[in-house]
Structure 1
Amino acid sequence: MIFPLKNVNIVPNLLALCPVLISFLLLYCTIGDAAVNDYKLTDVGAIIDVNSQNGKEEKTAMEVALKNFNNYSKTNQVVIHFHNSSGSPFDAASAAEELIKEKKVQVIIGMETWQEAALVADVGKKAQVPVISFAAPTVTPPLMPLRWPFLIQMANSQTSQMNCIADIVRAYNWRKVIAIYEDDPYSGDSGTIALLSEALQKVDSEIEYRLVLPPFASLSEPKRVVLDEMLNLLRTQSRVFVVLQASLPMVTHLFTEAKRIGLLGRESAWIINESITSKLKSLVSNSVLSSMEGTIGIKTYYSTTSSSYVQFQKSFQTEHIEEAEANSTAGSHALRAYDSITIVTKAIERMNSTNNDSRVFLKEMLSSNFSGLSGTINFKEGQLSKTPIFRVINVVGEKYKELDFWIPGRGFFKSFPLENGKDKNGDIGNAPSNHLAGQIVWPGGLNLTGPKGWRIPTDMEPLRVAVTRNPPIDNFVKMESPGKYVGFCIDLFHEVLTHLHGSYNEYDLPYDFFPNDGSYDDLVDHVIDKTYDAIVGDITILANRSKFVEFTQPYTESGLSMIVPIEREGSAWLFMKPFTWELWLLTSGTLIYTMFVIWFLEHRSNDEFRGPWKNQISTTMWFAFSSLFFAHREKITSNFARVVVVVWLFLVFVLTSSYTASLSSMLTVQRMKSPRDIDWLRENNLPVGYDHRGSFVKDYLVNVFKLNPMKLIKLEGEEDYLNNFQNNNIAAMFIELPYQKAFLNKHCKEYTAKAASYRFGGLGFVFQKGSPLARDFSEAILSLSENGTLKSLEDKWLSPSPKCLTNSTSAEAESLSVQDFWGLYIISGATSTICLILSLLRLQRANQSTASTPDDITFWKKTQRHLNTAGSLKILERVPTLALRQDVHEWSTPRWDYQLSNSDSESQGTQQASHSAEIEIL
């Protein structure tokens, strides 16, 4: 079947399809718009000085942070709008208004100075836009969160920096510093000087001079202006320079001119704060950095070992290419900029995508709590809650090296401390210290020790040194003629200058002496009011004086001593005092015992010890007592007796020598009649003298000793002391210990001092408060004390007079006791006893050998019989057989009959009453 063809017009059909096509296109566009709207866009403003090195690094760091976030986030995108502040607070405020109005930014980041941050924070407060500032005020203003409620500070105040600088100053005992800063046309020093001064006061230092340099931008001839200002520093003593704030061009001229005029010598020290340390990288290729060699700086510490930092550093070097800086590392400013973007992005992620409330956004940012590249990020009242840790750096050549860590309130650490005091290597010996442990290269190439930090000004007037015209004792200071002074203090002053000149080159101290007749308190007051620069004399170191002046190390001890006249004590029994009564009894007993032993050993063979009992006792006693003076004349025939006598005479010799020495000491010792002390003066209300030059002595006597002020008599020098004592105007006198020594060295026979004295701080030289001369003089005095020079001066000026060289200073000599000689008495007693026993044994053996028949009489019975018959021996006739024995001595007596006692007759039995006897004398 064939179908016929029909002509159709297609144009109207295409027109009918147009509405359908349009619907499909609209639907596609709608879907595309919905896909785009799935990303929430956030506009962020950044106000920085893009021409500065810090500004360039901050810009690169923020771009790296945003790139990382935008690549990672699937729901949020952040767009940053940069504006150049050119370092002007007004330009920063104008840029903030433009960003808020035109770019509709939701947060503003940047502002390197507090002046910029404060103005931008005012703009943010009005527009209710959060502001994250890279700067913080030097001193936190009161009610700061109420004044700038939308401000977040990504920086700490300068209080910690000033405390770190003060600890460096304390580590080297620098007493004065010079503060240098470039004037800010908007805010001056912003309170930095006040913070530094407060921190230095805590370490007993102060600011001697403030050098304010005009703003560099306002100078047409900066080199000449800086040189003129630096020349003023040559008139100051301090050589410790603290540079607080300065622009990069000013730093360049400052150190160039300082080195030119010699302010970077071996005695100088330069310290720069973090704002200048962060600019050192800009000077690496500059010869100025080499002129800064030896400078110490501080910078905020941050970890460089974390993976996030390593990754950031790679990205930073890739992005930071301009001006051949591809190998440069990011500084603390760049890290803070990176962390600021991180704060913003983390807050955006925590917020609801439909919530655009700026207060909620601010709250989310303030609740941040994470470990960023610059440290822990946590806020309290709009400020970072954690105090930063600083790292001390030292400029060496054309680079700088990092030294110790400094932690607020703890001091310096050689390595970074972790928990339990250990460092990252596990070393537990990393203890905090008040000193820098790292080796520092100082200006002038000084490596071993720190510079002394001061120098005598080149055009300094001679030091005005006050001396006491009429001291209590002229051994210390004496004016021989107008302008010529001698004495212990004057010689010591010259020795100190000689020592300092030998220890330090160019230590030439010009000085002039000025005599003064006022009291010592008046002299100290004149140093306080700067009438005099120093005092050379016998000035006592007291607490109330030390608050206003600087004392040197004491060169001699001081204290309050009581002087009284000497009165000897008489005693009828003084001759008995050399020995204690126990020693007298022991000596008497030993004498009697020795007397008996000698008699026993001698009376059978020595005619001088024979005869009636009365004669024998008297002879023996005479021998014993005369032996005390080595005047005995009796002959000793027995060997045993000779041994006893030798030991006895040795004992006598020691005793008599000791007795003579002890008695002589007691006869010459200086003693007082009765105890004389403060209580004695107070109870008897006696008049007391004191020297008028030591005005504090009177206050001490009244307030401490409670003496009657009406009984205190003012004395004026040594001659007045003697006159008042001789006229009985005073019963005692109180003078300081050095004067007491000098006074008694001359008058030791007439006066004595109480044993106990009341100590003070010593005598020292006086300088103005904070004077560096005091420390150098103290070190010199210690050195002179160690090498014997101080002792030589004391021997020269404070040695006793010839009549006092042998004078005893003890109050009373002690009696000799048994403990001093018990060894001699044991030897003497043992020798006598042994000789007696041996003699008795020989006598018994001889009797047994001559007896015709044995008997049973005991040894002690025979001894008793021998003693009983000692004086009644009779010999009727000479026995011729005695001569036949060689070992028998013949003795004769007028009485030849040997009368036996009744006891003997009974014991012998057969023995006759009258019997011729043969007697062996052994």
Structure 2
Amino acid sequence: MGTAFPMLLVLSLLLYPNGISKSLAARPPVVNIGSILQLNSTTGGVAAIAINAALEDINSDPTVLNGTTLKVETKDTNCFDGFLGMVQALQFMETDVIAIVGPQCSTIAHIISYVANELRVPLMSFASDATLSSIQFPFFVRTAPSDLYQMAAVAAVVDYNHWKIVTAIYIDDDFGRNGIAALDDALTAKRCKISYKIGFPANAKKSELINLLVSVSYMESRVIILHTGAEPGLKLFSMANRLNMMGNGYVWIATDWLSAYLDANSSVPAETISGMQGVLTLRPHIPSSEMKGNLISKWSRQSQKYNHSDLRVNTYGFYVYDSVWAVARALDAFFDDGGSISFSNDSRLRDGAGGTLHLEAMSIFDKGKKLLDKIRKVNFTGPSGKVQFDASGDLIHPAYEIINVIGNGMRTIGFWSNYSGLLSTVPPEALYSKSPNTSLANQQLYDVIWPGQTAQRPRGWVFPSNAKELKIGIPNRFSFREFVTKDNVTGSMKGYCIDVFTQALALLPYPVTYKFVPFGSGTENPHYDKLIQMVESNELDGAVGDIAVTMKRTVIADFTQPFIETGLVILAPVKRHITTSWAFLQPFTLEMWCVTGLFFLVVGVVVWVLEHRINDEFRGSPRQQMITIFWFSFSTLFLRKYHEHLRARCVTHMAICCFDHSIQLYRESYFHPDRATT
């Protein structure tokens, strides 16, 4: 008796460490959770099976909830009819539940998040809308990756393939618009952009979808991002195939709706799969594990039990399964911490008009904030991988698989993870133990089979068939018409600059339509600054001609590398066809001849004044003196120095005299040896 009591006390402390009364009294026999799904959709059907599978495993596990049974109340809503879906969801909120799994639709999730905040009911939603955040909606808990990460992965694929512009097709609701907004931001970070956005309603007619695709085919970009649901997305693929938009040159990237559909449906029509060959899609990455394999193996039994034998588990099934487990583990910790389930009415919720919504029936979960804190602190590993939330309320380590639809199935060509932000052929979980390497040189994907059954990467764009002609301004010059001028006979533009322009266009691998717009009257040279201003103001798309690159002009317009460079030159007029031998006299004008004659006279008079008194050659008759004056004037002008001339004459005269005298002596010594002298 003395030893039995201490043993019972120790055993009770081990079984109920928080106290017997607290552990047993605070745990009710049944706790209800809710789910808001569209059961006739692929995602909704998979989510319903996953919820029931998780409840079976939780309620059969004695280590969880310690005897408390967890039950679910499901509300079938219409995602495509936003108003009806919101009314159905609001009616469901009259039920006293401690947490809600769903909704799957972004439109309904936005409305229910406001209600969940008011009623303090945690919302375990797998809606991927990036604008749903725990900052605005504290009771919103996202249990699947956000579109922020998915669009970052799409942008990484676009940048990896060196495409700069894309076309975005989306369903025109909160899910589509907010997803494309996230894509736009992600592409901008990669210096890419969406050149054309086009949305369509969920109930769009066939003719509207055909017109949509035709307008897309007229665009420049051939990289098309498709962010829709399964039903409208498959319709678009079928119509695009009929319009020959699934062939060479096109690139189709579908968000994770396509992989979710192909993973969940065991029998996809052959016509459907053949019409999307070469398409790229994304799938949230779930690492391989024993728990994942166990859920897959027992899924067929669960799907048959709930009359969905045609549905297989996809990524959303794994996330929903772990969402229920997260609620169960948080609820267990909630009970261990002394939490209790109680609801109270909100005096502000009164339907005074007597409507059918019965707002007064909505109750506030008194300890909802405490349960929410326990949910955000869960840390366990489930079939979807590590279940743990970061400071912003998102699951840690979001990652995606890049998938190529080929043949009768899908092939993984690589992975993208937020851990490194890069594309890789290595599974992300192998990188988490290493420091993140963000070098773009490490990016790699396996080869892709593109639409048209080609392994060659598409260029991603073509010149649009409905594009306007480029207006090219051409200076209509009066002078130097060899550079550029207008042919008055044909009206076309010709010249050296025109030839360079047309030859440059011929090197482009695509056609460019353009027209020349003459600038100027042709009777005088136009002012080029005004031509540049017309390009800057978009009156012209460009200008071609002998346009000098100046500092003032480079401020408002971009110039090509100059293909004519003169350097430092001197311009002088030139007369052609000069055939006369007296052409060298042409620079000598009448004035120049008069000045030259005057110099002759002045120089001659000066020389005569200096020489006639001492030089006999400057004497004689007036005629002889005039001849001497003009002769010395001429010699003075055309020789360097007058004295050099005289010296040269003297030396030459002496040399000639000496030479003549030597010849005379030689002759006498040869013919008269007796007269020879030394």
TM range (shorter): 0.5 to 0.7
Which digits, 9 at most, give the CA deviation of each residue in 1:847-877, with x for residues without a partner? xxxxxxxxxxxxxxxxxxxxxxxxxxxxxxx
Q: Does 2:428 align with 1:446?
A: no
- Separation in structure 1 between the aligned mates of residue 505 and residue 554 of structure 2, nearest angstrom: 35
Letter matched to residue 445 of structure 2: A
Q: Does 2:127 align with 1:135?
A: yes
Which digits, 9 at most, give the CA deviation of each residue in 1:366-397, with x for residues without a partner? 21122333343223467215251111111223
Aligned counterpart, 2:261: 279
Cα gap change, 1:441 to 1:92, in 2 (>3 Å): same
Match of 1:400 among 410, 428, 449: 410
Q: CA deviation at 1:339?
A: 1.0
- Separation in structure 1 between the aligned mates of residue 438 and residue 127 of structure 2, nearest angstrom: 33
Aligned counterpart, 1:210: 197
Q: CA deviation at 1:106?
A: 1.7
Letter matched to residue 193 of structure 2: E
Letter matched to residue 452 of structure 2: G
- Separation in structure 2 between the aligned mates of residue 370 and residue 464 of structure 1, nearest angstrom: 64
Structure 2 SS opposite 1:458: coil
- Separation in structure 2 between the aligned mates of residue 471 and residue 75 of structure 1, nearest angstrom: 100
Q: Does 2:298 align with 1:330?
A: no
Cα gap change, 1:296 to 1:474, in 2 (>3 Å): farther
Q: CA deviation at 1:740?
A: 7.3
Aligned counterpart, 1:415: 426
Letter matched to residue 189 of structure 2: K
Match of 1:486 among 480, 484, 495: 495
Structure 2 SS opposite 1:344: helix
- Separation in structure 2 between the aligned mates of residue 326 and residue 440 of structure 1, nearest angstrom: 33
Which digits, 9 at most, give the CA deviation of each residue in 1:215-247, with x for residues without a partner? 22xx4xx222211222222332222211122x3
Which digits, 9 at most, give the CA deviation of each residue in 1:755-779, with x for residues without a partner? xxxxxxxxxxxxxxxxxxxxxxxxx
Q: Does 2:398 align with 1:388?
A: yes
Letter matched to residue 453 of structure 1: G
Match of 2:222 among 239, 253, 269: 239
Aligned counterpart, 2:112: 120
Q: Does 2:299 align with 1:316?
A: yes
Report matched runs for 1:501-520 at 5 Å: 507-516=510-519
Cα gap change, 1:529 to 1:435, in 2 (>3 Å): farther
Conserved 8 A contact 2:187-2:193: yes
Conserved 8 A contact 2:142-2:395: no
- Separation in structure 2 between the aligned mates of residue 492 and residue 528 of structure 1, nearest angstrom: 22
Aligned counterpart, 1:457: 464
Question: Relative contact order (C-alpha < 8 Å, sep 6+): which is higher?
Answer: 2
Cα gap change, 1:491 to 1:412, in 2 (>3 Å): farther
- Separation in structure 1 between the aligned mates of residue 119 and residue 563 of structure 2, nearest angstrom: 80
Structure 2 SS opposite 1:191: helix
Report matched runs for 1:352-751 at 5 Å: 352=335, 355-356=339-340, 357-380=367-390, 383-408=393-418, 410-417=421-428, 433=441, 437-448=445-456, 450-467=457-474, 482-487=491-496, 490-500=498-508, 507-516=510-519, 526=534, 530-536=538-544, 694-696=550-552, 738=562, 741-743=565-567
Q: Does 2:63 align with 1:55?
A: no
- Separation in structure 1 between the aligned mates of residue 382 and residue 202 of structure 2, nearest angstrom: 35
Aligned counterpart, 1:806: none
Q: Does 2:185 align with 1:198?
A: yes
Match of 1:306 among 263, 266, 289: 289
Q: CA deviation at 1:107?
A: 1.3
- Separation in structure 2 between the aligned mates of residue 378 and residue 386 of structure 1, nearest angstrom: 6
Aligned counterpart, 1:86: 78
Q: CA deviation at 1:334?
A: 0.6
- Highest CA radius of gyration, 1 or 2? 1
Letter matched to residue 191 of structure 1: N
Structure 2 SS opposite 1:444: coil
Conserved 8 A contact 2:416-2:428: no
Which digits, 9 at most, give the CA deviation of each residue in 1:733-784, with x for residues without a partner? xx9994773356x76999xxxxxxxxxxxxxxxxxxxxxxxxxxxxxxxxxx
Letter matched to residue 180 of structure 2: I
- Percent sequence identity over aligned pairs: 22
Which digits, 9 at most, give the CA deviation of each residue in 1:108-166, with x for residues without a partner? 1111122222222333333332221111443356xx54x53332222343222222222
Structure 2 SS opposite 1:152: strand
Cα gap change, 1:36 to 1:52, in 2 (>3 Å): farther
Q: CA deviation at 1:261?
A: 2.5
Letter matched to residue 117 of structure 2: K
Structure 1 SS opposite 2:225: strand
Conserved 8 A contact 1:422-1:429: no
- Separation in structure 2 between the aligned mates of residue 36 and residue 140 of structure 1, nearest angstrom: 37
- Separation in structure 2 between the aligned mates of residue 386 and residue 422 of structure 1, nearest angstrom: 14
* Unaligned ranges ≥5, structure 1: 1-34, 502-506, 540-690, 701-734, 751-922
Conserved 8 A contact 1:284-1:399: no
Letter matched to residue 340 of structure 1: S
* Unaligned ranges ≥5, structure 2: 1-23, 341-366, 521-525, 574-678
Aligned counterpart, 1:40: 29
Cα gap change, 1:398 to 1:380, in 2 (>3 Å): same
- Separation in structure 2 between the aligned mates of residue 736 and residue 233 of structure 1, nearest angstrom: 32
- Separation in structure 1 between the aligned mates of residue 123 and residue 239 of structure 2, nearest angstrom: 40
Letter matched to residue 230 of structure 2: L
- Separation in structure 1 between the aligned mates of residue 120 and residue 433 of structure 2, nearest angstrom: 47
Aligned counterpart, 2:243: 261
Structure 1 SS opposite 2:565: helix
Letter matched to residue 47 of structure 2: E
Conserved 8 A contact 1:480-1:486: no
Q: Does 2:323 align with 1:340?
A: yes
- Separation in structure 2 between the aligned mates of residue 91 and residue 343 of structure 1, nearest angstrom: 30
Which stretch of structure 1 is more off in the superposition, 248-257 or 491-500? 491-500
- Separation in structure 2 between the aligned mates of residue 49 and residue 345 of structure 1, nearest angstrom: 23
Letter matched to residue 247 of structure 2: G
Structure 2 SS opposite 1:509: coil
- Separation in structure 1 between the aligned mates of residue 322 and residue 532 of structure 2, nearest angstrom: 58
- Separation in structure 2 between the aligned mates of residue 162 and residue 524 of structure 1, nearest angstrom: 41
Q: CA deviation at 1:337?
A: 0.3
The alignment covers a number of residue pairs equal to: 506
| TM value normalised by structure 2 | 0.65
Aligned counterpart, 1:802: none
Match of 2:161 among 148, 155, 172: 172
Cα gap change, 1:62 to 1:479, in 2 (>3 Å): same
- Separation in structure 1 between the aligned mates of residue 527 and residue 185 of structure 2, nearest angstrom: 34
Conserved 8 A contact 2:414-2:424: yes
